[in-house]
């Protein structure tokens, strides 16, 4: 497994609050992970870095970061310049 390098817009050192505050659409991703974690991540780990959340709740950090980054990508074919 390749380690997360943290070169994208979302890094393992960012807190859940950092991520949701900057990218509101990632809240849905955290909700998806709530069942596996057994808790509401946004409720219980809001101030924790993603790497700690993954460790504490036995989540795959690489997949979590990838899923979060996928959620903030513009839809395919979307024009970035209006």
Digit-by-digit pLDDT tens for the chain (82 residues) are 344 454 679 999 999 999 999 999 999 999 999 999 999 999 999 999 999 999 999 999 999 999 999 999 877 766 555 5
Q: Is residue 6 part of a domain?
A: no
Q: What is the pLDDT of residue 1?
A: 37
pLDDT at 8: 77
In a domain, 26, yes or no: yes
Residue 15 has φ and ψ, to the nearest 5°, of: -80, 165
Q: How many domains does the chain have?
A: 1
- At residue 16, the pLDDT reads 98
pLDDT value at residue 77: 64
82 part of a folded domain: no
> Could you tell me if residue 40 is inside a domain?
yes
pTM exceeds 0.85: no
Domain that holds residue 36: 16-72
Tokens at residue 57, please?
């709740």
Q: In sequence order, what DSSP letters do the residues of 21-77 get, joined into one string?
A: HH-GGGHHHHHHHHHHHTS-HHHHSTTSBHHHHHHHTT--HHHHHHHHHHHHSPPTT
């Amino acid at each position: 497994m390749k380690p997360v390098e943290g070169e994208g817009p979302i890094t393992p050192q960012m807190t859940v609050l950092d991520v949701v505050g900057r990218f509101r659409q990632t809240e849905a991703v955290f909700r998806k992970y709530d069942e596996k974690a057994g808790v509401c991540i946004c409720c219980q780990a809001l101030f924790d870095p993603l790497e700690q959340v993954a460790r504490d709740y036995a989540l795959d950090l690489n997949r979590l970061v990838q899923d979060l980054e996928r959620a903030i990508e513009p839809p395919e074919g979307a024009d970035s310049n209006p």
